[in-house]
Chains A and B, each alone.
Chain A
Amino acid sequence: MPSISHLLETFANSYPIFLEGMWLTLRLTAISILIAVFFGLFFSLLKISNVKVLNWIADVYIGVIRGTPLIVQIFIFYFGLSNLGISAFWSAALGLALHNGAYIAEIFRGSIQSIEKGQMEAGRSLGMSHTLTMRRIILPQAFRRALPPLGNQFIIGLKDSSLAAFISLSELFSIATTQGARTFDEMTYLMIVAFYYLVLVLAFTVLVNMLERKLAASD
């Protein structure tokens, strides 16, 4: 184990390069999660639709994504998309988005189905269409209910973005391994990068909690 003073010294010397990695990690996570939420919403609606074919499409998507390792998906995207001239960053972002989207679809489906049936009936009885009631009444409530598991999924997405290191993206984890390999001081850099991830996750948790409190105004 590296000594505390050595850790602190290495930390102080390496932060510029780690901050660059953190910036890449944050961009990768933010973009992939944003797209994942749209995928998730879209496929959750397919999944609760009355049209069998649409249910089936959602089932296949969710089944394939959940049934294969994320690292395999990222590699497939990387090798598949680099032929089309798509960068490693966007390969990783799309791979992560598609992956998280499957889990978010299940989160949304659960929360939409947890909204009392009377809410839809009340909307319809006022002359609102199914789509309008969904948009104005059901989804806002479902989103609020989905927030805790959604926050959890975002944290998983943040940490999973470290797998992008394997397709040559210089995000946080990749910087830790290259610095470690360069100096033969792997343990020090791994502990430093663990610290960065921990700070990011904690900051994100605080953000989600704030949002939850804000949305809880009607309770």
Chain B
Amino acid sequence: MAEKREMIKVEKLNKSFGDLHVLKDVDMTVKESDVVVLIGASGSGKSTLLRCLNFLEIKNSGTITIEGKQIEPDKDDLNKVRQTVGMVFQHFNLFPHKTVLENVIEAPLMVKKMKKDEAVKEGKELLAKVGLAEKADVYPSKLSGGQKQRVAIARSLAMKPDIMLFDEPTSALDPELVGEVLSTMKELAREGMTMVVVTHEMGFAREVADWVCYMHGGRIVERGHPDELFDNPTEQRTQDFLSSIL
């Protein structure tokens, strides 16, 4: 079998907010169809790492290579890069003044200049895929949290990204709504999407992740297959974190 393509390669990534050094020399490689789960306490830098990957935060030093191309924020067109790296947010961030379908087709229409009927057709297919075909014409305010997050996933997929980033996608949801979002994400993983997920859902990590990174103090302290990392963590800090949450 051919070696899988490197989708994301991060080397010696550093990021500070003022005096606060949030990411310290982070190295990470994500290959095609990998599902990577980042875990760690709040403030450990996992969300910042994720946000650096689509340049919502701009690194201070180090390199970020997306699909073989090293991206320099001041030279490269980040709008182009972001079209291949989709993102799903903790608080959904749907556009409240647009219907569900309008949310999904906004970027294809405006950025890709897709024809309206084509965008609508694809948008409806995506909504059907996340199980919300019948909600196409309602406004986000009428949806439950789980439905909103599934629309957000469909909206992101509408740009046909090669990589999807999930920033605590279920943390703002009522417990009974977490499952529907996770199963949409599992479906996506099965289809071979390359995914980097920040989450506290250890069940999801165990079931879906190809490997898990434990972050602490701005570094990736330990990484490994979920079974190894959860059952036999080698680092004391990983053990402490896992025993505090499991």
Contacts and interface: CB of A to CB of B under 8 A. Distances in A.
Nearest to B56: A121
A219 B141 CA distance: 6
Interface stretch (B83-91, B122-130, B189-197, B219-227): B83-91
Given A118-B91, A217-B139, A219-B141, A126 B107 contact: yes
A125 B87 contact: yes
Contacts of A128: 79, 106-107, 110-111
B79 A127 contact: yes
A219 B97 CA distance: 8
Interface in B62-116: 79-80, 82-83, 85-87, 89, 91, 93-99, 106-107, 110-111
A124 interface: yes
Contacts of A126: 82-83, 86, 106-107, 111, 155-156, 159
Interface stretch (A29-37, A86-94, A132-140, A196-204): A132-140
A128 B87 CA distance: 13
B167 to A, nearest CB: 10
Interface string B159-193: 10000000000000000000000000000000000
Given A124-B82, A125-B82, A126-B156, A116 B110 contact: no
A126 B152 CA distance: 11
B54 interface: yes
A132 B85 CA distance: 18
A118 B139 CA distance: 18
Nearest to B155: A126
Nearest to A217: B139
Contact of B97 (A118, A121, A124, A218): A218
Given A118-B89, A118-B91, A126-B155, A141 B110 contact: no
Given A118-B93, A119-B93, A129 B139 contact: no
Given A121-B56, A121-B89, A122-B89, A127 B96 contact: no
What band does the interface of chain B fall in when counting residues whose beta carbon is under 8 Å from A? 20 to 34
A116 B96 CA distance: 11
A119 B110 contact: no
B119 to A, nearest CB: 13
Interface string A127-154: 1110010001100110010000000000
A121 B131 CA distance: 25
B110 A121 contact: no
Contacts of A127: 79-80, 82-83, 107, 111, 159
Given A118-B91, A136-B106, A136-B110, A125 B97 contact: no
A21 to B, nearest CB: 40
A136 B111 CA distance: 11
A126 B165 CA distance: 12
Interface of B: 54, 56, 79-80, 82-83, 85-87, 89, 91, 93-99, 106-107, 110-111, 139-141, 152, 155-156, 159
26 contacts: A119-B95, A121-B56, A122-B152, A124-B56, A124-B79, A125-B85, A125-B86, A125-B156, A126-B83, A126-B107, A126-B156, A127-B79, A127-B80, A127-B82, A127-B111, A128-B106, A128-B110, A128-B111, A129-B79, A132-B111, A136-B106, A137-B106, A141-B95, A141-B96, A141-B97, A218-B96
6 interchain residue pairs of minimum CB distance? A127-B83, A122-B93, A126-B107, A118-B93, A218-B139, A125-B87
